[in-house]
Chain A
Amino acid sequence: MNPSDTPTRPSRRSFLAGAAGLAAAGAAGAARADNANLPPNVATWSKTLGDGVGVRPYGHPSSFEKDVIRRDVQWLTASRESSVSFTPLHDLDGIITPNGLCFERHHGGITEINPHDYRLMLHGLVDKPLIFTLEDLKRLPRVSRVYFLECAANSGMEWRGAQLNGCQYTHGMIHCVMYTGVPLKLLLEQAGLKPNAKWLHVEGGDSSGMNRSLPLSKALDDCLIAYRQNGEMLRPEQGYPVRLVVPGWEGNIWIKWLRRIEVGDQPWYTREETSKYTDLLENGKARKFTFEMDAKSVITSPSPQAPVKKKGFLVISGLAWSGRGKVTRVDVSLDGGRNWRTATIDGPVFDKSCVRFYAETEWNGQELLLQSRAMDETGYVQPTKDDLRKIRGVNSIYHNNGIQTWAVKPNGEVENVEVG
C-alpha cells in the first residue's frame, strides 16, 4: 500500500491496514477453510446426522453468523438503560430487518410486561374513556404494513465531520419491518372524539414514562397500535406487547410499551419535544415538532465494516427511505458526487418504507468515493452534508440526512470520509 494513501495522523488506535493487516486477514481466511471438506473430498456434514427437529424450537442464526449483531457505542451515554444499539446494516440485504437485529433505544431499560397485566387507557376529550386489554386489541380489525423506523438522531454524530467507521454506527439507528395492529383511527372511533380534539398525548408504561404530543390529523391518517412485527409478537426491546407506529416520523414518537393515550386540544411540550427532539440552528433558535424524516440513503456494502474482498465485478448495495412517501429513485456516484448514475431499485416499494438499491461496476483497485442520493415522490432530493450545514449549522443533532461518502482504497478497505 502506498503510504500516501494513509495520511499519518494521531489515532486512538491503529487502523487495520498495511502489510501486517493484510497478512493477518489472509491467515485468518486460510484458517477458516478445511481442505478435508473441499472437493474432491466428501465434507463431514455430508456424512453425519445433524440436529433433529425440536432441538432448535424457536431457531437462531448459524453459529458462523455470530458477528451479525447489534452493537453500541459505550462512550455515548451515561448508562446502559438509557442508551442505544445499532442495526448491523452492512450485514443485511433486502428491505426487512430481522427482529433480533432492530436497533434499540430505551430510556429506562427493557421493560418486560406480562401480557395479562397489560392495559391501554384512552381518555381525555372523548365521549367514553376506555381501557383495552391485549386480547381486546387483537379482536379488533387489524392491518399489516411495512414501515421504516428511524431515530431522529441517526447520523447525529456526523454533523461536524466524519467520525465513525461503519454504517452500523453512522446509519444504524433504523430498521424496517412489517407491523401488524389496529389503526389508531379505529381505536379513537371506539371512544368517540369531542369536537375540540386536536392533539394526543401518547405515553409509555416503562420507568421513563416516555411521552410525546401527536397531532390528531396524523393519528387519524396512518398510525397503528401494533402488537406484531414480522409476524411474531413485538420483542420486549421493541415495546412488547404494544407500541405506537407513526409512519415516516421520528422514532422517539413511536411510544413503546404504550399504556395511555389522552386526547387534548393543544400540545403538551414534553421534555422530549422541547429539550431533546428540537433542532437547534446556528442562530440559537430551534425548530420544534420536526416530525417527518427527510429522504435519505446509505450504501451498506461496500462500507467500512464490509470492505471489498476481490477485484473485478462489484455489486454496490444500499438502503433508501423517505418519511414523506415512496422513494422514487436512487442515484449512485463513484467520484464523490461529481457524476451520477441511476441505481436499480429491487423488490417492493412501499409508502414510508425502506427500499433496496443496487448498482454494478468493475473495480480493479482504483480509489472510489462512493455516494448515494435518494429522491422521493414529493420531489425531495437528499442534500449534500454541506448544503444541509449551510441551512442548519452543526448543532442540530437530529435529522442529519446528508449524503454519505465512503472512500474505497486500493487495498479494498473502506473509510468514512468527507469530501469538498
Chain B
Amino acid sequence: MSRWVSIIAAAAFAVAAPAFAQSPKPHSYNIGTQATPEQIAGWDIDVRPDGQGLPPGKGSVRDGEKVYLERCAACHGEFGESAGRWPQLAQGKGSLATHDPVKTVGSYFPYVASFFDYIRRAMPFGDAQSLSNDELYAVTAFILNLNDIVDDKFVLSKETWSQVKMPNEGGFYDDDRKTAEKAFWNPNPCMKDCRPPVKITGHASVIDVTPDDKSIRKGGVE
C-alpha cells in the first residue's frame, strides 16, 4: 500500500468510526430463537393494575373463603391477622401515620393487581402456581372482603376487576429525593467544630438483639 493510500484509508476510517458509533440501526447477531405464542402463554403470568394479563375465570367471596382456610390461613391467620411472623393481610386501617404502621391489603396495597399477581406467582408458599384461575379469583375476592373492600356477594373476574377501588391507592408518589432532600447535596461540608461536643444517646447493647455467636465477639485489647 502506498503512503498516500494508507493516509486516505486512515482519513476515511476517522470519518467512518464516529458515524458507526452513532448508527441508529442496532446490530443483529442472529442469536436466539423466535418465541412461539404457546411458549409465551405458558410463562406470561403477570397482571397489571389496568387488567392486562388477567386470565379467564371468576371467583366469589364464598368460594374464596374455602380456598383461603385450606391453603392460606395456617400462615396468614383465619381473619388475615397473621400467624407467627408471616405477613398480615387485613386490618391496619389508619395506622400508616402512626409509630406502628401495619401494612395490609386494606391499609397499604394500592391496586388489586399488586396481590393478585403475587398470589398467582408465589402462593401458597412452597407450592407456587398451584391455584386454578377460579381459585385465584376467589381467594383474591375473599381477601378483599376480609378488608371490607367488597361485600359478601362479590364475584371477582375480568369484568368486575375495575369496580374494585383500593383505599390507599392515592397513598404513593414518585421518588422526590432530589428536591425534598436537596440539602444533602453540599460541595463544602463542614470540617471543623461542626457541632457542640457529642454525647452518646443510645447503645445497641441496651436492646442487644445481636445473634449470639461466640466467634464474633473477640474481645478488646490483649
Which residues in A have some Cβ–Cβ distance to B below 8 Å? 7, 9-13, 15-16, 21-22, 24-26, 29, 67, 71-75, 77-79, 81-82, 107-108, 121-123, 128-132, 136, 139-141, 161-166, 168-169, 186, 189-192, 201, 203, 207-209, 211, 259-260, 262, 264, 266, 268-271, 274-275, 278, 280, 282-292, 294, 304-311, 331, 335-341, 365, 369, 373, 375, 378-383, 387, 391, 394-395, 407, 409, 411-413, 415-420
**CB neighbours of A292 from chain B (8 A):** 175, 177
A260 touches B43 (CB 8 A): yes
B26 is an interface residue with CB less than 8 A from chain A = yes
**CB neighbours of B204 from chain A (8 A):** 162-165, 304, 415-417
**CB neighbours of B194 from chain A (8 A):** 337-340
A379 touches B185 (CB 8 A): yes
Looking at the assembled complex, report how far the CB atom of A110 sits from the nearest CB atom of chain B, in whole angstroms.
Answer: 14
Which residues in B have some Cβ–Cβ distance to A below 8 Å? 26-29, 31-35, 39-40, 43-50, 52, 75, 84-86, 96-97, 99, 101, 103, 108-111, 113-115, 117-118, 121-122, 125-126, 128-129, 171-177, 180-181, 183-187, 189-213, 215-222
B195 touches A337 (CB 8 A): yes
Majority secondary structure of chain B interface residues (helix, strand, loop or mixed): loop
Looking at the assembled complex, report how far the CB atom of A128 sits from the nearest CB atom of chain B, in whole angstroms.
Answer: 6
When chains A and B are docked, how far (Å) is the Cα of A140 from the Cα of B198?
A: 56
Please judge, given known A-B contacts A67-B215, A294-B177, whether A308 and B220 are in contact too, CB under 8 Å: yes
A369 interface neighbour in B180, B187, B198, B221, Cβ under 8 Å? B198
**CB neighbours of B219 from chain A (8 A):** 16, 21-22, 24-25, 307, 412-413
Count, A-B residue pairs, CB within 8 A: 310
**CB neighbours of B113 from chain A (8 A):** 268-269
B209 interface neighbour in A79, A164, A259, Cβ under 8 Å? A164
B33 touches A13 (CB 8 A): no
A203 touches B205 (CB 8 A): no
A190 touches B197 (CB 8 A): no
**CB neighbours of B207 from chain A (8 A):** 12, 161, 163
Please judge, given known A-B contacts A163-B209, A275-B114, whether A26 and B222 are in contact too, CB under 8 Å: yes
B200 touches A381 (CB 8 A): no
A207 touches B128 (CB 8 A): yes
**CB neighbours of B99 from chain A (8 A):** 394-395
Looking at the assembled complex, report how far the CB atom of A329 sits from the nearest CB atom of chain B, in whole angstroms.
Answer: 9
Can you report 30 residue pairs joining A to B where beta carbons are below 8 Å apart? Answer: A11-B206, A11-B208, A12-B209, A29-B222, A72-B211, A73-B209, A75-B209, A123-B44, A129-B35, A130-B32, A131-B33, A132-B31, A136-B31, A163-B209, A190-B29, A191-B32, A192-B26, A201-B46, A208-B121, A260-B43, A264-B52, A268-B113, A269-B114, A288-B175, A305-B218, A309-B221, A337-B198, A340-B190, A407-B200, A417-B202
When chains A and B are docked, how far (Å) is the Cα of A46 from the Cα of B50?
A: 72
Looking at the assembled complex, report how far the CB atom of A360 sits from the nearest CB atom of chain B, in whole angstroms.
Answer: 18
Please judge, given known A-B contacts A164-B210, A310-B222, A417-B203, whether A130 and B173 are in contact too, CB under 8 Å: no
Most A C-beta atoms less than 10 A away, residue of B111, B197, B221: B221
A280 touches B101 (CB 8 A): yes
B187 touches A379 (CB 8 A): yes
**CB neighbours of A123 from chain B (8 A):** 35, 40, 44
10 additional contacts (CB under 8 A) given A268-B113, A308-B221: A107-B122, A121-B39, A275-B108, A275-B115, A337-B195, A338-B198, A339-B191, A339-B193, A340-B194, A369-B198
B40 touches A121 (CB 8 A): yes
Looking at the assembled complex, report how far the CB atom of A336 sits from the nearest CB atom of chain B, in whole angstroms.
Answer: 3
A209 touches B128 (CB 8 A): yes
Looking at the assembled complex, report how far the CB atom of A166 sits from the nearest CB atom of chain B, in whole angstroms.
Answer: 6
**CB neighbours of B175 from chain A (8 A):** 287-292
**CB neighbours of A71 from chain B (8 A):** 211, 213, 216
**CB neighbours of A306 from chain B (8 A):** 218
**CB neighbours of A107 from chain B (8 A):** 122
A15 touches B208 (CB 8 A): yes
Looking at the assembled complex, report how far the CB atom of A388 sits from the nearest CB atom of chain B, in whole angstroms.
Answer: 8
When chains A and B are docked, how far (Å) is the Cα of A420 from the Cα of B47?
A: 48
